[in-house]
Structure 1
């Protein structure tokens, strides 16, 4: 066994919490991961991991060894990057997670463009509105929209989007059109639970921040589901502009309160803190920053 393979397997098991997830992360079987770790322990003459049928944990020796293993792998990655610097070749696999609606509209195209420039690279794009554990599930990057909870992850802004209040012509004919953010208290609001505060919103009116409650009977963890409910006339919604821009342009929805500034939302890429950011990660970040802005300005059409 190559010792580097053993180090990679050991670190992947620690980061993901299981041999199975480590194997998925490395693209090998869990049995091979177990074999690599056992061989590494035999070479070192120490037990690095406590194994039970229900859990894994680091031994004291494993805790001491982990930091050195990460430094060695980081150095190897840096050497590989230096060796390929002149050719600009990126290799390996990049695992990215993104929200479903955003991913369907933009991340897939951004990924396709990137792969066209780097034929030796592969990308695993996982779309979910769930907040994934990057270390535990073996992801290199997570794309997120809006205010982020405090964490140890490194965040890089790759774009911004407006939030719009929208409603269908049918709903507005029945319930009336709000002319001030306070009027939203008298309406049915379809809330997206992915928002930082789905039951409240802030607007800037005449230079002052106005906080407004958003009452409603439906809260759902999907921007696309919010859009469909608003199209059906079930209520109003405060949603990222790219989700509904095509519907507003086509007259299926109306943008409301355009003179009352709603929050701008950061679109951010998050990754684990590490002494050396792999070139495939830093290059993909640069690609996102350069390409996302123009795409947001010309949001693609979607099925109604």
Structure 2
């Protein structure tokens, strides 16, 4: 067996979650994938994957081997890419992760628009609101919104968005609109647990950022679910502008407290520190900044 084929099959199984899905990704049968992985384990003298009839999981040896295997595949892909660099052709695959609502709303920019300009590239986009370990899971880029924890990752800001307070006309017919952020204490608030402080909202009051409590009975880990609840008249939502701007423009939701600017959230693209960035990664980061920033930052005051 070619050791490289075994490494490629092993990583594909981990990423795809099954031998069948890995075979579909690689264009070979699941039996051949299983054969490659078994041969690799035999060659290494260790078990890399725990196999049951219902699931697969990495052994401790497999977890260690996976990190090295990803580096090998990345190096080979980079060698292939460099062979085409002089003629300006970008090749290989980019693995990207982004928050669910953000990815669904901007799927064309994240995938189709970039691939149209680079037909020899592939993109594997994974949408998840959970924290993703780029090194362990083999991602090239992670898009994250809001404050970042201390990290060794390299961050590039691709835009900013303001948090808006919104409610439906039906809700406001039953509850007078708040005229000050403190008045949110008297309202039913819909909380997004993806926020760093879902039970509080930040507004600029007399030039200072002030945090106010957000009482409510519903907390959900989805910006789109919060939007849906607000549209249904269930309460006041604090949501990134890009999620609700069209609803506000078309009258389905009413923006509240417009005289009190909401929290500004950075939208950043993160990647692992590398002595040399692959050309496809540099091109993708440039694409995100050029195409996403004007859309995301529409309506923000200059200099925000």
Alpha-carbon distance, 1:154 to partner: 3.9
Question: Which residue in 2 is equivalent to 1:223?
Answer: 223
Q: Which of 25, 33, 57 pairs up with 2:59?
A: 57
Aligned residue for 1:142, secondary structure, equals strand
Structure 2 residues not aligned, in runs of 5+: 300-304
Alpha-carbon distance, 1:292 to partner: 0.4
For the structure 1 residues 115 and 53, does the alpha-carbon distance in structure 2 shift closer, same or farther, using more than 3 Å as the test? closer
Report the number of matched residues: 294
Q: In 2, Cα distance between the equivalents of 1:40 and 1:56?
A: 14
Q: In 2, Cα distance between the equivalents of 1:104 and 1:50?
A: 34
Alpha-carbon distance, 1:113 to partner: 1.0
Q: String of CA shifts for 1:105-142, please: whole Å, max 9, x gaps.
A: 21333421111111122223333434445455554333
Q: Does 1:168 align with 2:163?
A: no
Q: String of CA shifts for 1:10-39, please: whole Å, max 9, x gaps.
A: 6667x7597749937963566544544555
Q: In 2, Cα distance between the equivalents of 1:122 and 1:150?
A: 31
Structure 1 residues not aligned, in runs of 5+: 300-304
Q: In 2, Cα distance between the equivalents of 1:35 and 1:95?
A: 26
Larger CA deviation: 156-165 vs 98-107:
98-107
Q: Structure 2 matches for 1:270-289, cutoff 5 A?
A: 270-273=270-273, 276-289=276-289
Question: Which residue in 1 is equivalent to 2:294?
Answer: 294
Q: In 1, Cα distance between the equivalents of 2:204 and 2:80?
A: 50
Task: Give the root-mean-square deviation of aligned CA atoms.
Answer: 3.5
Q: In 2, Cα distance between the equivalents of 1:67 and 1:189?
A: 43
Q: String of CA shifts for 1:140-175, please: whole Å, max 9, x gaps.
A: 333222223445544332211111111223322321
Aligned residue for 2:261, secondary structure, equals coil
Aligned residue for 2:87, secondary structure, equals coil
For the structure 1 residues 146 and 21, does the alpha-carbon distance in structure 2 shift closer, same or farther, using more than 3 Å as the test? farther
Larger CA deviation: 4-13 vs 205-214:
4-13
Alpha-carbon distance, 1:199 to partner: 0.7
Question: Which residue in 1 is equivalent to 2:302?
Answer: none
**Contact conserved, 2:163 with 2:241, CA < 8 A, in 1?**
yes
**Contact conserved, 2:161 with 2:297, CA < 8 A, in 1?**
no
Q: String of CA shifts for 1:228-262, please: whole Å, max 9, x gaps.
A: 22222221111101111112222322222222222
**Contact conserved, 1:22 with 1:33, CA < 8 A, in 2?**
no
Q: In 2, Cα distance between the equivalents of 1:128 and 1:243?
A: 16
For the structure 1 residues 47 and 272, does the alpha-carbon distance in structure 2 shift closer, same or farther, using more than 3 Å as the test? farther
Question: Which residue in 1 is equivalent to 2:196?
Answer: 196
Q: Does 1:80 align with 2:77?
A: no
**Contact conserved, 1:165 with 1:238, CA < 8 A, in 2?**
yes
Larger CA deviation: 66-75 vs 170-179:
66-75
Question: Which residue in 2 is equivalent to 1:302?
Answer: none
Larger CA deviation: 131-140 vs 107-116:
131-140
Alpha-carbon distance, 1:67 to partner: 7.6
Alpha-carbon distance, 1:3 to partner: 4.0
For the structure 1 residues 41 and 125, does the alpha-carbon distance in structure 2 shift closer, same or farther, using more than 3 Å as the test? closer
Q: In 2, Cα distance between the equivalents of 1:86 and 1:183?
A: 61
Q: Normalising by the residue count of structure 2, what TM-score does the alignment of the two structures yield?
A: 0.79
Q: In 1, Cα distance between the equivalents of 2:155 and 2:21?
A: 24
